[in-house]
Chain A
């Protein structure tokens, strides 16, 4: 059964004054129906750019998709004429952003902004669309939805504004929702509420959810699978529990070691040495090698492929292609882009 969304070997670069910044370098991942995929990475890892490329909302003069394919239910999206592409945007694949205050139009009422989705895509009448907007605001648990629909974005609190964004994105019951750091700008308790809301809505609507974040804690609760990004490509991909328990890439290993844990006392925090790479001059070979404690000669010469480290149930395909339908607790395999991944796994045991 074909996956809901399939991104293969995506390359995005930005040209400015002669130099090219390679923001995304061969990104590949798949999203199945009803699945929550967390794309994890530091700032500068290319996760937001990749999401925008998938949506087709990249700023195309500086940015360019130089290679790759994005398939939604088997249909190739890249290269579609803009008018057809627009039909998918918002209706089949929707996106919500980090800062709801700047992401909502300040001079339009909130209800109108939600209703706009229905008016434009489905041709619904203004009145009917407004009614639906209030229903949606109710569904995302905004109190007194009917009155608040006439308010402006700056009159809401941060958490409420993010709910408005979610209501707007879900207005047309899309099959995929991409959430780009939806809770980074919110404080912790509100974060938890929003994540729970997203999770519930996803179950109700059987939506695929791509959660882009840099917060390991947020991911642990909600995600089914994780794709860990570094320097514009996926370096490890696995089910959440699998990756947390048995990381197969030094980067994941380092990340997990650097997170403070409430149950381990008296241990020093071990950060990953060095800094994220300059995307205009990515190191040769494995991009992580300058910071890797396990780096060897091969690492600075040869770029590691994302390959299967442990096959998922029902899969024996070494090429790392999609395999079997996932189910909670079960996974479609554990992939890593490290020459010495097996070593990492065995060291961790």
Chain B
């Protein structure tokens, strides 16, 4: 479109300057693409995702495989992990190649992170919407229950339950953590639904005869869910951090599962003499959690209309 015709068109309507759509998600996506932290986070998470999904691409050894106790606690040949050699990151206390262990240790924390967040999110969206929309008895009941869960600090509850829990696999741990995590997200969702419920467009939909389910799904959810979505993204990172702490305390995953938290736990007695045992898993863990935090932050800033 030539400049004069464009100006003329603008002058006619006076409304739209650029031709692009101005929907919330469209705008947010464009904003996201412009942020450096978003791309940094995406790259790191893509890398971690690859490690978790296709470990054999990065190491020829299986989890806990090829461990030779006679080669235990071999320091890495240099601080440069790309220097090559048989054990680029050294070996751990059992003589397993540390790089292989780190690669294999990626899957468990990430799976737990997503599972727990997924469970909590699913519960939060359903219960939060129902509670916020229908109110009264259901809401009062649910609020009391979330209050009770809030009275229990999370780590404490997880410690207590996980110790007595019969199984220590990834799914068991995710189940227990999911059970403890849903109240916060549910409360957030409920608050959001409450603030949207009295909006005029919801009233309009109701007056037009829309059924409850349709109102909730088509009108309330899309407008209420954004902060919860952001919170969920940040949450995956937080869960991964907690999971590592629980592994470290000995109540989370256990041998033969491999995870960064377990590696850190093994390192605790001797890291003063062998700091690399602490540093490598710590770096990977921190990078993953950090990426989720950066991602969540970037999405939140992109979705926030006030920051335009």
Contacts and interface: CB of A to CB of B under 8 A. Distances in A.
A281 B15 contact: no
A290 B11 contact: yes
A283 B17 contact: no
* Leading 4 A-B pairs by shortest Cβ distance: A283-B11, A290-B11, A277-B14, A275-B14
Contacts of B17: 19, 278, 280-281
Interface of B: 7, 10-17, 308
Interface of A: 16, 19, 274-278, 280-281, 283-284, 289-290
A321 to B, nearest CB: 32
Contacts of A19: 17
B14 A290 contact: yes
Nearest to A276: B14
Interface SS of chain A: helix, strand, loop or mixed? Answer: loop
A289 B14 CA distance: 12
Nearest to A291: B14
A278 B17 CA distance: 8
A278 B14 contact: yes
B10 A281 contact: yes
Nearest to A274: B14
20 contacts: A16-B308, A19-B17, A274-B12, A274-B14, A275-B14, A276-B14, A277-B11, A277-B14, A278-B10, A278-B14, A278-B16, A278-B17, A280-B17, A281-B7, A283-B7, A283-B11, A284-B7, A290-B11, A290-B12, A290-B14
A281 B17 CA distance: 7
A283 B11 CA distance: 5
B7 A278 contact: no
Contact of A283 (B10, B15, B16, B308): B10
Contacts of A277: 11, 14
A16 B308 CA distance: 9
Contacts of A275: 13-15
A16 B10 CA distance: 19
A253 to B, nearest CB: 20
Contacts of B10: 278, 281, 283
Contacts of A284: 7
A16 B17 CA distance: 14
A278 B14 CA distance: 5
